[in-house]
Every structure is written in C-alpha cells, then in structure tokens.
Chains A and B, each alone.
Chain A
Amino acid sequence: MVTMITNLGRSGLSDWLVQRISAVVLALYTLFLVAYVLFHPGLDYLTWSALFESTAMRIFTLAALLSIAAHAWIGLWTIFTDYVKCTRLRLVLQVVVVLALFTFVIWSVQVLWGA
C-alpha cells in the first residue's frame, strides 16, 4: 500500500475510473463539435453563438471542461511522479498545473455564462 496525498481521488481505482469516464466525455464532445461544423457549412457567428445559448450545450461544454481538468491532472500527475524525481520541482510543477487548470475552468465558465 502506497499512500499519496497529491493524486485526485483517494484511491487508484477512482483515478483510473475518472480517467476513463472523462476520456469518453471528451471523445463525445469532440465528435459532436466536428460533426456540427461539418453539417453547417458556411457557419456564421449567429448560429455558433445560438448553439452555446442552449442550456444543454452549456452543460455539455461544462462537463467537457471539467473532464479536461480531471483528465489532465491525473495524466500529468502520473507523468510527474514517473519522471520528476526531485520532490521540490515536482511540487512546483503540480502547483503550476493545478493553478492553470483552475484558471481555465473559471475563465470558461465566465465565457459560457457571461454576456
């Protein structure tokens, strides 16, 4: 049993599950966006912003954003603990990543629900 405090969930299983579920959400979101663009040739600003007016789309987008944050954190945490053996440097990198992801999520919420 190895105990860590910096991984996302408390167990390896939860991290593993979150990683898989977030991957599915991201895949669906990507497919949807690609399909939407393909089915709307000559897409203009009005159609595009109308798409993001709907609550369903906003929720879907928020789910994708949270998925990116969780997925990126688990993935980068794994890479850091594999390759960065200096504890201080690893901590700095982890803080930078957490702050960046936090900023992205808040900022995107503002974009989605802002005027």
Chain B
Amino acid sequence: MTMLTVSVYRYNPDTDDKPYMQDFQVDTEGRDLMVLNVIMMIQEQDASVVFRRSCREGVCGSDGVNMNGRNGLTCITPLSQVVKNNKLVLRPLPGLPVIRDLIVDMQMFYRQYESIQPYLQNNTTPPAIERLQSPEDRDKLDGLYECILCACCSTSCPSFWWNPDKFVGPAGLLQAYRFLADSRDEYTKERLARLDDPFSVFRCRGIMNCVSVCPKGLNPTHAIGKIREMLMTQAT
C-alpha cells in the first residue's frame, strides 16, 4: 500500500456556510498516476466530490485546477510533478467564483475572451474557395492558435485577480494578438483602438505567471509585448 494524502477544497453552497478542506487517503500502489486519476479515485470514495473533465488528454481545457499551489490540467499532470512530502492539495482555480468544490464560474474569463472579438473580420468579397495565406503569414499564428482556453494562465495572474472586469488577461490577450497577427483580418486598427486604455493590455505587469503555468507551453507575455509594439507603431 502506498498511501497519498489528498486534501480537497470542498464547498457546496446549498449545504455549507463556508468552504473547508477535506482529507482523503488514496492508494496509488506506487504508480505515477495523473492527478485526474487520483481525483476519480477520490470520487469513488465520496461521490459528492465534483470536478470538470472531458477529454482526459490535455485537449479540451476543462480540468484546470490548482495543484499544490500551481495551476494546471489534472489529466496531463503526473503526481511526480506536483506532490510534495506525499501530500497533494487541490483547490479550484484562484480568482474566479466557486460554483461547487473544484468547479469555478468561468463567466468573467469568457467575457474577456468575447471582448477581443475572437473571429476573423474581413469585408473584402471572399474568393471562390477560401482566403489564402502565404506559408510565412501562416507561421505567424504558431504559438497563438494552440490555446485551449483552460484559464490556467489568467487565474494565476495577479492583475487578472484584481481587475477581472477590466484587464483582458493573458488568455484573452494571446487571442487578441492571434487575430492582430492574422493576414486575413482587416480590422487591425479597430482592434488596437479597443485595447488602448490603461487596463485592457497595460495592466499586465510582466510577472510571467501566465508563461510558467501554460500547459500548452504558450507565451502570453510575448504576445502582450507584441500588442504593445503594435500600439506604439500605430501611435508614433
């Protein structure tokens, strides 16, 4: 028997006055399981523990959780990466309202995503088949389009914690740049004008928490720097 102590954040607004931590003992048989497997074993012990997950292979982005103080996707995070002193603490993503246990309300996150207009805008009549891009232009989207909107980055960003209604946050800004960088989009000027206030982009303080947690290895800070550069070029 190789027992692991897992401390889980519990909160059910219907029955609990306030959140509390509940300890579970899980027998891992010495295997280096993914954290998601461990949560599922916990659910076998206590079916009232709830969490989100879907693809279990790091593609859907639904199981972002704070594991021993670090945000990540439970399905692709092996125990060996997060467990310290045989103990694992699981909490919901910080900074967003908790719906129940490990499930957070992502509305503020999605609202910021919506604010950057995450779709191509182009008024030129489309050609018969499709709008083409040169391979070089297509390359500019690498490192941007891969985002799965898991919110691990934005919910580890202090600037997003303090102003989730005004600061777009790393995930939204990475996507903002994805459309600014796209050769098929014609609304660059309008997009930049929507970002040029003291909060949307400029509340980023370059702390780089976003970069250090992104499970897809993306770099929102770099994209934010690019947006600043574009704003600067446009204004001077």
Contact = CB atoms under 8 A, between A and B. Distances in A.
Interface in B189-213: 193-203
Contact of B198 (A12, A17, A83): A12
B232 interface: yes
Interface of B: 159, 162-163, 166, 193-203, 228, 231-232, 235
A77 to B, nearest CB: 8
B162 A2 contact: no
A2 B195 CA distance: 8
Interface string A1-44: 11110010001110111000000000000000000000000000
A11 B194 contact: no
Contacts of B201: 12
Most buried by A among B196, B200, B202: B202
Chain A interface helix/strand/loop/mixed: helix
B163 A12 contact: no
Nearest to B235: A13
A78 B159 CA distance: 10
* A-B interface, 7 closest residue pairs, ranked by CB to CB distance from nearest: A12-B202, A12-B198, A2-B199, A82-B162, A2-B197, A2-B166, A7-B198
Contacts of A83: 162
A3 B232 CA distance: 19
A3 B198 CA distance: 8
A96 B193 CA distance: 32
Nearest to A9: B198
B197 A81 contact: no
Given A1-B197, A12-B231, 10 more contacts: A1-B200, A11-B197, A12-B200, A12-B202, A13-B235, A15-B202, A16-B202, A16-B228, A78-B203, A81-B163
Contacts of B228: 13, 16
B162 A15 contact: no
Given A1-B194, A83-B162, A13 B200 contact: no
Nearest to A14: B235
Nearest to A15: B198
A12 B205 CA distance: 13
B196 A13 contact: yes
Contacts of A7: 198
Interface string A83-107: 1000000000000000000000000
Given A13-B231, A16-B228, A4 B199 contact: yes
Contact of B196 (A11, A81, A82): A11
A82 B200 CA distance: 13
Contacts of A13: 196, 202, 228, 231-232, 235
A16 B196 CA distance: 11
A100 B195 CA distance: 32
A12 B231 CA distance: 10
Nearest to A81: B163
Contacts of B231: 12-13
A19 B201 CA distance: 15
B162 A12 contact: no
A45 to B, nearest CB: 43
